[in-house]
């Protein structure tokens, strides 16, 4: 039931976005208000290409977001690797704590 509702809402959003894109292009090609009939005709003609354009734009957006995420991870990972090479790889103990060699081990004051 939830899947059918999700598909129905998705199709409704797809159709409404396609109608809006077709209307925008129709208004772009016939901007004068007296040309309302030609604007409607152009919008009707452009409705079919808009049906194809809307899902492609969603897919393109998802691909661009994925590429940006991978690129950010790559840049961040390379930066971290360079920092490790420049500063040296820190030592770690058995529990996974970083051992800082510049800090002296605490000793008792009487030693």
Residue 65 has a pLDDT of 93
Query: Cα angle vertex 96, ends 94, 100, to 5°?
Result: 95
What is the spatial distance between Cα 50 and Cα 88, in angstroms, rounded to a whole number? 55
Q: For residue range 57-98, list pLDDT tens digits in order.
A: 888 889 999 999 999 888 888 888 888 888 877 777 788 787
Residue where the block lists tokens 């800090």: 103
Entry pTM: 0.51
Q: Using an 8 Å Cβ cutoff, are 18 and 51 in contact? A: yes
Which of 13, 18, 38, 12 is closest to 27 using CA atoms?
A: 38
Assign 10 to helix, strand or coil.
helix
Q: Which two tokens stand for residue 45?
A: 């003609």
């Amino acid at each position: 039931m939830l899947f059918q509702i999700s598909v129905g809402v998705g199709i409704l959003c797809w159709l409404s976005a396609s109608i809006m894109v077709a209307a925008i292009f129709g208004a772009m090609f016939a901007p004068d208000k007296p040309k309302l009939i030609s604007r409607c005709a152009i919008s009707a003609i452009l409705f079919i290409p808009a049906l194809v354009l809307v899902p492609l734009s969603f897919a393109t957006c998802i691909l661009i977001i994925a590429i940006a995420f991978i690129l950010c991870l790559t840049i961040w990972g390379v930066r971290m690797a360079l920092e490790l090479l420049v500063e040296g790889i820190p030592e770690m103990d058995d529990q996974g704590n970083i051992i800082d060699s510049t800090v002296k081990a605490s000793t008792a004051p009487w030693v």
